[in-house]
Amino acid sequence: MTSDDTALLERARGGDRHALAMIYDEYSPAIYRYLYRRVGNTGLAEDLTGQVFLKLLEAFQRDQLWNSSFRGWLYRIAHNLVVDHYRKQGDRNQVELEETLESDDLGPEHGAELTIRFQKIRGALNTLTEEQAQVILLRFGEGLSNREVGEIMARSEGAIKALQHRALSALRRLLLEEEVEG
Amino acid sequence: MMDHRPSNEINSGLVGEEPLNEQESPALLAFTQELEALLGPVPPREERRARANRSAFLTAAADQFTTPVPAPARWQGWWRRLLLQGTTLVLFFSVSWMSARVASAGSLPGDTLYPVKLTVEQIDLLLYDEAQWETQVQSQRLSEVLTLLQSGRKAEVEFQGTLQQSSDGSWHIGGIALDFDPEKQILIQHMCGPVRVQGVVARGEFQVLYLTPSCLSLEAPEHLLSPIPTPLIFPGRDGAPSSEPINRYLVS
């Protein structure tokens, strides 16, 4: 967290509306992307994004301090909300993908193929442990480094590398099994 | 933010503490590239919902922070409050001052607002030239006595003026006739300079109680040096300036 971010957080903690808006604008897009990749539904991802930032206000009220990474804290809250969501829903493997992935470079057929593939990956991600799914999304979805993911997950860089390896192997095996079954 | 580093750079930390076997490694590296391609694009946020979410967050924040004043604004707020209070005070005193001035302007000796009028005059002394102020105040006192005489009201008054004798032998100060005991005539004739008059207005007549002259002429008879009340010291009698108080003569 930079000194500017720290100052921004301090102002937001004091109730400065401008600082609160800046924090929302800076961090909400990444949290939304992370949540979308976890739940595969834009509406639900948006709702959960809103909840993450309401949790932030509660943290301000409790005078909670972020000694390590504020961004990591936001991802952790987002992750916990996803876990709660699936717990309430009862079926973690339910695929909620509604939208077709869009890309200017892809034709409609290729786009549909990508969507099906993404659905499969999401389904497989949901069978991984929470930590494995989180490390895959942060590394390959958000493009964060091992160090950054380590900060977010409160783990060492080495532990993240090992976790990432296990997650990738498990995910690939699950997808291969699915293809063989299919 | 998305990291657009090349895949092989991102995957450089892939192996970590658990070495991959030779067969698995290339396949996993290819899989990570596929993951990046698939996980990368995300449908855009629905603008209306995103805006609503943002508003809900800011509204909740506004509710939570009942006094959302950042540190610099708090300092500015202190000065704003001070300025506001100062302006209010100045306005209050200005309005009060003007109201008191207007309300007491027509008051006469014996009225409730008359002391206010005298206070206003004392404050005016700080703002105006002293000689000009003195002339205005004495003119005002004489005007008050004339008004009281015309109205027939009773009041104690005090004013200042120059003694003048008419052709018929009667004495006046500022147009107000003074009636003296003939025994005091000699004394009156030797008074000089402005004379302060204290007396009572009642039923349209003015009764003099005391005359206080600025000086007595050098030719004044010796017995006038001990009139009522005693002791008497006449400033200026020996020709030298004196800070002694002006003496009063009981005339009735």
pLDDT digits (tens, 9 = 90+) for B209-246: 777 777 776 666 665 544 443 333 333 334 443 434 44
Residues in a beta bridge with B159:
B197
B202 CB within 8 Å of a chain A CB: no
Region B184-202 average pLDDT: 77
Question: Which ipTM did the prediction report?
Answer: 0.77
Contact A50 B56 (CB under 8 A): yes
A28 pLDDT tier (thresholds 50, 70, 90): very high
Q: Is B30 on the interface with A (CB under 8 A)?
A: no
Query: SS3 string of B6-46?
Result: CHHHHHHHCCCCCCCCCCHHHHHHHHHHHHHHHHCCCCCCC
Closest CA to A58 of A21, A13, A88, A8: A13
Q: Is B41 on the interface with A (CB under 8 A)?
A: yes
Query: Which DSSP state fits B224?
Result: G
Which of the pair, A97 or A34, is modelled with greater confidence?
A34
Average pLDDT over residues B121-140: 85
Output the pLDDT for position B13.
Answer: 47
Selection from A101-110, A123-132, A173-182, B217-226 with the highest mean pLDDT:
A123-132
Query: Which of A140, A156, A174 would best serve as a mutation to test chain B binding (most B beta carbons within 10 A)?
Result: A140
Task: Residue window 68-87, chain B: list those with CB within 8 Å of chain A.
Answer: 68-71
Minimum mean pLDDT among A53-62, B14-23, B30-39, B201-210: which range?
B14-23
Strands in B249-250's sheet, in edge-to-edge order, are B155-161, B191-202, B205-216, B249-250
Structural domains of chain A sorted by starting position, each given as residue range(s) with its CATH number in brackets: 1-96 (1.10.1740.10), 107-182 (1.10.10.10)
Give the integer Cα–Cα distance in Å for B197 and B164. 13
Alpha helices (H) along B152-202 = 185-189
Q: How confident is residue A105, by pLDDT bands cut at 50, 70 and 90?
A: very low
* pLDDT tens figures, B21-70: 555 667 777 888 777 777 767 788 888 888 898 989 898 888 887 654 55
Q: How far is CA B127 from the centre of its chain?
A: 13
Residue B130 has pLDDT above 50, yes or no: yes
**In chain B, where are the structural domains located?**
153-250
Look at residue B91 in the predicted model and tell me its pLDDT. 95
Measured between beta carbons, the chain B residues lying within 8 angstroms of A162 are: 16-18
HEC readout, A57-120: HHHHHCCCCCCCCHHHHHHHHHHHHHHHHHHHHCCCCCCCCCCCCCCCCCCHHHHHHHHHHHHH
pLDDT for A4: 67
